[in-house]
Amino acid sequence: MEGRIPLIGERFPEMTVVTTDGKKELPKDYKGKWLILFSHPGDFTPVCTTEFVEFAKKHDEFRKINTELLGLSIDQVHAHIKWMEWIKENVGVEITFPIIADSLGKVATKLGMVDPEKGSATVRAVFVIDPEGVIRLIMYYPSEVGRNINEVYRAVKALQLSDKQKVVVPGNWPENSILGNKVIIPPVATYKDALERKASSQEGYDWWFKVKEIKE
């Protein structure tokens, strides 16, 4: 993986990072938990402030699904701390998760978070890392567009459901316009399986599009 950014399905690269909660070893310190690592262009910027407030407000819900949050930008620890204080004093929301101080940009560069057209500022990247340290989802947003935190939460829940129930999850789940909260049975692997599924009375639209209800 040397010389390129990590991809979905690969292990998150081991690294030591400095955060507002002290040093952390990634991904080891989060083993057994899902981790959302997300970068922002910079402290004391309006869109980033709105994102951090939304992440903080939803932190308890993330924790209920065994998921932790970890921010990052190319700023120093003291800047993160002052920004966290500003948010608490002016918006009334406490930032309850640590922020990586990647002042030299080494972590952001390794993870492909740096926007080459905007100097050292990071894009709005999201890495979802599973309890075994494997990267399961990557999102990139430009600096001009704030993220939908509910979508990040939905994506983690969908991944967890897929792992647990061995299913695949439709668009806009759990409010898909044709399936509602139902999920999709994974594709068949052989011709024999296709014939068996075609003869099955299982709910669906065709042998390759079978669905079922699930209980979380």
Q: For residue range 41-78, what is the model confidence (pLDDT) as tens digits? A: 999 999 999 999 999 999 999 999 999 999 999 999 99
Q: What is the pLDDT of residue 216?
A: 59
CB count within 10 Å of CB 22 equals 9
Catalytic residue among 35, 48, 87, 125: 48
193 vs 138, 181, 183, 196, CA distance in Å?
A: 32, 25, 19, 5
177 is catalytic: no
190 φ, ψ to 5°? Answer: -135, 165
Pairwise CA distance, residues 81 & 83, whole Å: 5
Extended strands (E) in the chain? 15-19, 22-26, 34-39, 67-73, 99-101, 124-129, 135-141, 183-184, 204-206, 209-212
Query: What region does 90 belong to: left with phi over 0, alpha with psi -120 to 50, or beta?
Result: alpha
In degrees to the nearest 10, what's the CA dihedral of 131, 11, 96, 108? -170
Q: What is the pLDDT of residue 91?
A: 97
Tokens of 53: 């407030």
| Cα-to-chain-centroid distance, residue 207 | 32
Q: Set out the domains of the chain in order of their start, with CATH numbers.
A: 15-147 (3.40.30.10), 166-216 (3.30.1020.10)
Pairwise CA distance, residues 105 & 142, whole Å: 18
> At 197, which helix (H) or strand (E)?
helix 191-199
Query: Which residues of the chain fall below pLDDT 70?
Result: 1-3, 118-119, 216
Q: What is the pLDDT of residue 115?
A: 79
